[in-house]
Amino acid sequence: MIETRPFGTTGHHSTLALFGGAAFKPTSTAADAERALDLLFRHGVNHIDTAHGYGRGNSETLIGGWMERHRDRFFLATKTGERTAAGARAQVELSRRRLRSDTIDLIQMHSLTAEEDWAAAMGSGGALEALVDAREHGRVRFIGVTGHGLTAPRMHLRSLERFPFDAVLLPMNFLLATDERYRAEFDQLKATCDDRGVAVQIIKSAARRPWAGRTRVRGPWYEPLDTAADLARAVAYALSFAPAFINTMADLDLLPLLLQAAEAPGECPSGADMAAMAGDRGMQPIFEELAMIH
């Protein structure tokens, strides 16, 4: 079974690996969902992270089938990409219906890194107003913010200056940690979160490189590491940023290997070991800004 730890100050002890609902695509079926649920039960995963837009809504719908039967077994998180209060309010209500849950444990403002999006969502009449109202009326319990790309750490710090979010989500892996600015800003964010009891969720921990013209054979928009040994190293590295959680990637085929790695992560690999793996696997930055640096 995967170890649990406090998810910030929410009072919930979440497994180190959170199930990423992006694994469910528009074509995913109820049978796919049942196979995934069996794996989650087998490894004791008790935290689900999805989004309104994943699988064009199919992710929330499939997960709703789980909630109808097993709501008490999971901490349930979803996301809204809306920036206005009206849009966010409507998405929260639709998510509650799809997820078949009166209360969502964690609602997150999705990918809030662009300046114009941040200003709209955090300003008067913005999405944050609707999420706070939903919390006050018991429709959601906690509020978080997510981000992608190299601006995520500093934008999350800015968000935390504006509002006491309960959780943040952002990328971290070995190649990202080699970028001095990103690593410094990530460390600053992490220290702030640790001090305030804000849960930190890590994505892209097992990214290998962009597809870059190669035939896309797996779920994520980037090519992932895909062997048990490589995933074990990547997971152990990401979990070394404790206390932190990793979100499983958008690939149901790799879910068993990721959960196995999270169940027994072992010691963090050395920088030399990670650099050797990066060279042997032809790892490349998946974010354009970092690719330009390298």
Tell me how far apart the alpha carbons of residues 26 and 236 are, in angstroms, rounded to a whole number.
Answer: 31
Mean local confidence (pLDDT), 25-50? 97
Question: In this structure, are residues 61 and 89 in contact, taking their beta carbons and an 8 Å threshold?
Answer: no
Q: Which of 197, 87, 97 is nearest to 144 (CA)?
A: 197
pLDDT of residue 215: 83
pLDDT for 289 equals 56
For residues 28 and 123, the answer to whether their CB atoms sit within 8 Å is no
Q: Which of the residue ranges 63-72, 214-223, 244-253 would you say has the lowest mean pLDDT?
A: 214-223
92-101 tens-digit pLDDT: 999 999 999 9
pTM (global) more than 0.75: yes
Q: 177: part of which helix (H) or strand (E)?
A: helix 174-177
pLDDT tens-place string over residues 148-180? 999 999 999 999 999 999 999 999 999 999 999
CATH of span 14-293: 3.20.20.100
Average pLDDT for the chain: 95
